[in-house]
């Protein structure tokens, strides 16, 4: 949040829904919106999908983003209110997210580098289970995982797909990543692991032609991968702003006690 006593320059981005577009038009008129490249703060209007898009587009600029929920869940966003926005921004608490970096090599030796804010997942692309070897910091931990897939989630992403796959919820300051299987068949009792955030995880697809696997970093999918390496992208810091009463750390904590 800028320390200047003057009002910050605001850029408004919105989901494609009519309600989000209407809100954007009204807020731009009320607060004299600028383009994102000129903004001190970006205000995202929509749901969690829109927020992830805004974060990805802001990786180079790293401008603080304040989201207001006009979607369904809105886990990464604040409540929508048109009035008092400047005062809310001045009182907002900043949370910094560190994303993951995926290096994926396909069966045709093509290499792809993609950033993920929530999770990186490997998923089977055929009716047969995937067979994946899992190494952690160069040491083989699972030589042959039979599963629908496997994922690595950040703390911010631990309440998303990771939670649906019965992975653990991770507090933001825990310094951990979740390594979670998706419908593991063998070893049947393996439920995943919690890893230090600086860990390097390497996935090797054991039978990529008979049992093809795709890798996804948030919404970006790479088909027919042979090897995927996941590390924390420590060179990227993404600031989010939250109302004090809707702090992200408190939301993640509450999810652990949800009925």
Residue linked to tokens 């991968």? 225
> Minimum mean pLDDT among 4-13, 73-82, 100-109: which range?
4-13
- pLDDT at res. 3: 44
> pLDDT (tens digit, 9 = 90+) per residue, 124-153?
999 999 999 999 999 999 999 999 999 999
- Residue 48 bears catalytic tag: yes
Cβ neighbours of 257 (radius 10 Å):
7
Pick the catalytic residue: 48, 207, 235, 247?
Answer: 48
- pLDDT at res. 140: 98
- pLDDT at res. 4: 47
Q: For domain 100-232, give the CATH superfamily.
A: Probable inorganic polyphosphate/atp-NAD kinase; domain 2 (2.60.200.30)
Report the percentage of the chain scoring pLDDT > 70. 98
- pLDDT at res. 171: 87
Mean pLDDT of the chain: 92
- pLDDT at res. 13: 96
Region 240-244: mean pLDDT is 92
- pLDDT at res. 1: 47
- The two tokens of residue 117 are 């804010």
Fold of 10-98+237-255: Rossmann fold (3.40.50)
Q: pLDDT grade, residue 253 (50/70/90)?
A: confident
- pLDDT at res. 5: 53
Which residue, 209, 214, 216, 111, is CA-closest to 153?
A: 216
Domain ranges for the chain, please list them. 10-98+237-255, 100-232
Which residue, 154, 141, 97, 145, is CA-closest to 122?
A: 145
Instruction: Could you list the residues known to form a binding site for NAD(+), using ranges.
Output: 48-49, 118-119, 146, 148, 156, 159-164
> pLDDT (tens digit, 9 = 90+) per residue, 60-70?
888 999 999 99
Q: What is the DSSP letter of 17?
A: S
């Amino acid at each position: 949040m800028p320390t200047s006593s003057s009002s910050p320059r605001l850029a408004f981005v919105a989901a494609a829904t009519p309600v989000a577009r209407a809100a954007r038009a009204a807020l731009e008129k009320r607060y004299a919106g600028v383009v994102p490249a000129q903004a001190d703060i970006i205000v995202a209007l929509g749901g969690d999908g829109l927020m992830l898009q805004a974060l990805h587009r802001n990786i180079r600029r790293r401008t603080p983003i304040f989201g207001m929920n006009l979607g369904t869940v809105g886990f990464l966003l604040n409540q929508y209110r048109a009035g008092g926005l400047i005062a809310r921004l001045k009182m907002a608490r900043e949370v910094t997210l560190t994303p993951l970096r995926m290096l994926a090599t396909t069966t045709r030796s093509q290499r792809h580098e993609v950033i993920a804010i929530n999770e990186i997942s490997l998923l089977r692309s055929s009716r047969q289970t995937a067979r994946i070897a899992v190494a952690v910091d160069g040491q083989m931990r699972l030589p042959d995982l039979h599963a629908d897939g496997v994922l690595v989630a950040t703390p911010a992403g631990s309440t998303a797909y990771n939670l649906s796959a019965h992975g653990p919820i991770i507090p933001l300051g825990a310094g951990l990543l979740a390594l979670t299987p998706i419908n593991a068949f063998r070893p049947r009792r393996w439920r995943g692991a919690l890893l230090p955030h600086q860990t390097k995880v390497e996935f090797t697809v054991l039978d990529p032609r008979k049992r093809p696997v795709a890798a996804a970093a948030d919404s970006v999918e790479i088909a027919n991968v042979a090897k995927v390496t996941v590390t924390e992208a420590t060179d990227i810091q993404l600031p989010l702003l939250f109302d004090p009463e809707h702090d992200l750390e408190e939301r993640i904590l509450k999810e652990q006690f949800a009925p």
